[in-house]
Amino acid sequence: MKPTLYLILLVLFASCKSPDARRPESVKSGSFIKESAERNKKLNDKEQQLIEEIIAENSENNYIASNTGFWYHYNTKVEKDTITADFGDLVNFDYNLKDLKGRTIYASEELGNQDYVMDKEELFTGLREGLKLMKPGETVTFMFPSQKAFGYYGDKKRIGTNIPLISQVTVNAIKKD
């Protein structure tokens, strides 16, 4: 009986040990993230240079650089009305999408008239930020680098990976929330 008692005590003491933390099988150095950041910087510089060349060729238009990383010029500017869209406002607008060579990707007739509740619905970043700058009755042409457009994923239809876009947008009405 004594050997059984010793065996039970041995099992009890051995099972009370807390589990050791598992160690990772391989250690990542973070080089993938650094390399990805470098690729994105180079891509952004290349797109910015291409957009600046287009702006230089179209010197009749007065392009403005936004604080958030895209360029735009007014086709139709409204001076008297000071209403712009804020969070939750309903914006009615029309727009088209073209590549930087001017080839139409989506025509405004195809996209149709849009109603967008500001910052409560999904819309690509550049267009959402651009709509905040506009007043009812204005038409603006935007040039978006790919990270302000559809980025790495595209729209999974006609817009591919890392495609900068040109978009002509007309705000028809803004209904305050």
The domains found in the chain, sorted by start residue, are 61-177 (3.10.50.40)
The Cα 123–Cα 150 span in angstroms is 10
Task: Write the pLDDT tens digit of every residue in 121-151.
Answer: 999 999 999 999 999 999 999 999 999 999 9
pLDDT of residue 23: 72
Question: Within 10 A of 46 (CB to CB), how many other CB atoms are there?
Answer: 14
125, burial (CB in 10 Å: exposed 0-12, middle 13-18, buried 19+):
middle
Q: Letter for the amino acid at 94? A: D
Region 102-130: mean pLDDT is 97
pLDDT of residue 33: 87
Task: Write the pLDDT tens digit of every residue in 54-94.
Answer: 999 999 999 999 999 999 999 999 998 779 999 999 999 99
Task: Write the pLDDT tens digit of every residue in 17-29.
Answer: 566 677 767 656 6
The Cα 71–Cα 48 span in angstroms is 10
Burial track 135-159 (b if 16+ CB lie within 10 A, e otherwise): bbebbbbbbbbbbbbbbeeeeeeeb
**Is the CB of residue 132 less than 8 Å from the CB of residue 117?**
no
**3-state SS, residue 172:** strand
